[in-house]
C-alpha cells in the first residue's frame, strides 16, 4: 500500500513505489501489440502498476530533470491528473507521488463514452500555458497538443508491454471538466486516456 502523508488540512500526498525503470517487452513487439481498448475490468490498478505507468508517461528519467517524453523548449508544460475512484490527483514527478486535489470521483466527467465512468484510471493531460510564455497562443496550443501526444504514446507502449488496456480520448466537455478539476484559467485540458486491466 502507498504511504499517505497529509499535505494540508484537505490534501494528502500519496508516495508511489519506486518505478521499475527496466525490463518489459522489447520495443518492436510493444509497437506491434499497441492498440486501443474500450473494455476494462473494474479492478483498481495496483500501486506498483500505477507507479510504473506514471513514470513511463512523463516521469523523470535523468539526473538533470529531463523526462521520458520530450516537450517544446523543455517547458514541461503538461501536467498529468489521475481521476480515480477515490478522488482526483496530480502526478508530482519530482516526488514521484500523487497530490490529492479532491476526493470526488469525477471519472465519468473525463469523457462522454459509456465506459469512462468505470475505467479504473482516467489520465487527463493538462497544459499549463503559463510555462510557455515565450510562445504566442497559437503556438502554445499546437506545441502542447504535440507534447501530450508524446505522453499518450508512452502510455500506449507501456500498456502494450504490461498487458494493460488503454484508449486515448478527445471527446471531452473541457469547460465542465476544468471546473470539476479546479483548474486555473491558464490551464487547458488537451486530451484524456483510460487505463485499466483488460476485461476478461
Q: Taking a C-beta distance cutoff of 8 angstroms, is the pair 95, 13 a contact?
A: yes
Please tell me the pTM assigned to this model.
0.93
How many Å is the Cα radius of gyration of the chain? Answer: 16
Confidence category of residue 2, pLDDT binned at 50, 70, 90 = very low
Domain ranges (residues) in the chain = 3-19+39-196
Which residue, 197, 39, 200, is CA-closest to 115? 39
Helix (H) or strand (E) holding 179: helix 174-180
Percent of the residues in the chain that have a pLDDT greater than 90, as a whole number: 88
- Mind listing the pLDDT tens digit for each residue in 20-64? 988 999 999 999 999 999 999 999 999 999 999 999 999 999 999
Give the list of residues 6+ apart from residue 75 with CB closer than 8 angstroms, or none.
131, 132, 143
The CATH classification number of 3-19+39-196 equals 3.40.109.10
pLDDT given at position 133: 79
Q: How far apart are CA 44 and CA 155, in angstroms?
A: 17
Amino acid at each position: 500500500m502507498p504511504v499517505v502523508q497529509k499535505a494540508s488540512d484537505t490534501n494528502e500526498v500519496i508516495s508511489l513505489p519506486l518505478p521499475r525503470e527496466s525490463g518489459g517487452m522489447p520495443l518492436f513487439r510493444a509497437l506491434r501489440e499497441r492498440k486501443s481498448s474500450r473494455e476494462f475490468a473494474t479492478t483498481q490498478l495496483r500501486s506498483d502498476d500505477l507507479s510504473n505507468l506514471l513514470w513511463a508517461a512523463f516521469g523523470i528519467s535523468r539526473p538533470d530533470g529531463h523526462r521520458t517524453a520530450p516537450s517544446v523548449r523543455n517547458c514541461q508544460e503538461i501536467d498529468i491528473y489521475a481521476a480515480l475512484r477515490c478522488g482526483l490527483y496530480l502526478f508530482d514527478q519530482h516526488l514521484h507521488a500523487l497530490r490529492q486535489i479532491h476526493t470526488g470521483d469525477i471519472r465519468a466527467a473525463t469523457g462522454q463514452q459509456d465506459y469512462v465512468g468505470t475505467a479504473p484510471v482516467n489520465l487527463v493531460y493538462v497544459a499549463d500555458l503559463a510555462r510557455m510564455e515565450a510562445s504566442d497562443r497559437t503556438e502554445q496550443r499546437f506545441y502542447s497538443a504535440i507534447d501530450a501526444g508524446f505522453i499518450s504514446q508512452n502510455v500506449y507502449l507501456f500498456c502494450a508491454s504490461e498487458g494493460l488496456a488503454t484508449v486515448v480520448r478527445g471527446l471531452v466537455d473541457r469547460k465542465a471538466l476544468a471546473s470539476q478539476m479546479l483548474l486555473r484559467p491558464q490551464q487547458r485540458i488537451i486530451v484524456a486516456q483510460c487505463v485499466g486491466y483488460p476485461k476478461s
